[in-house]
Amino acid sequence: MPNGSLDKFISKSMSTKMEWERLYEIALGVSRGLEYLHNRCVSRIVHFDIKPQNILMDKDRCPKISDFGLAKLCKNKESIMSMLDARGTAGYIAPEVFSKNFGGVSHKSDVYSYGIVILEMIGVRNIENVEIFGSNNSSMYFPDWIYKDFDRGDNMRIFGDQITEEEEKIAKKMALIGLWCIQTNPSDRPPMSKVIEMLEGNLEALQVPPKHVWSLPTTTVPESVEDSNETLSLSNPSQFERGNKRVW
């Protein structure tokens, strides 16, 4: 994998003009890989640790999902899985993985992690723009910036001043899909087959997903099956403002 992991690949490309088409192809490639694991294997495989560090780039910059140390097999592809311990990396773990209050653990937990990766792909490249066009609070939950930009209708300035009309369409599509994938309720997230359909479809067919209100208290979650000092901000389900429910 001569191009290393996705996180290093993106960071290295931030100093130059990275083509949005390339980002789109990477996002599509990862979605196809996850769809294969979820639907085309004899036993469904849930990865549980989807993050940029576990996505490797080959010589043709084709993404490959790696590190299945936390993966779990699902016999007969049952929808809900039993979990004894939370697993994954802080910041990418789906809420239901460490709290049953958010729903059952399933392949939709990988969908959540994928959504975070997509938002990170389009977000880390323009963090300075986030601070300029938003507020002085650079630690604000990044998806909030995207919702705010959609509400303002100022043509997604967060994605850069030099972005072309075609690149803006790609950025908007990836942003909307990322927001759908990180919905708090697992049933509101699209399966990976639907994600592929959304990526390959028209931007006009995508709607802005309902926005949830996140509270401030933090809950400590493990970075892996071992332990970690990192924390992830999540609220009690009763504190969320839910929009119209969509079941995929």
Give the catalytic positions in this structure: 49
Residue 220 has phi, psi (to 5 degrees) of -75, 130
Tell me, what DSSP letter sits at residue 1?
A: -
CA distances from 211 to 13, 68, 147, 185, 214 (A): 31, 32, 8, 12, 9
| Residue 89 burial (10 A CB sphere; 0-12, 13-18, 19+) | buried
Please provide the size of the chain in residues.
248
Q: How many alpha carbons lie under 13 Å from residue 134 in its C-beta half-sphere?
A: 25
3-state helix, strand, coil in the chain (%, to 5): 45, 10, 45
From 119, 116, 120, 151, select the one nearest 133 (Cα to Cα): 151
- Vertex 39 angle, CA 33 and 45, to 5°: 70
Residue 5 has phi, psi (to 5 degrees) of -85, 165
In one-letter notation, the amino acid at residue 5 is: S
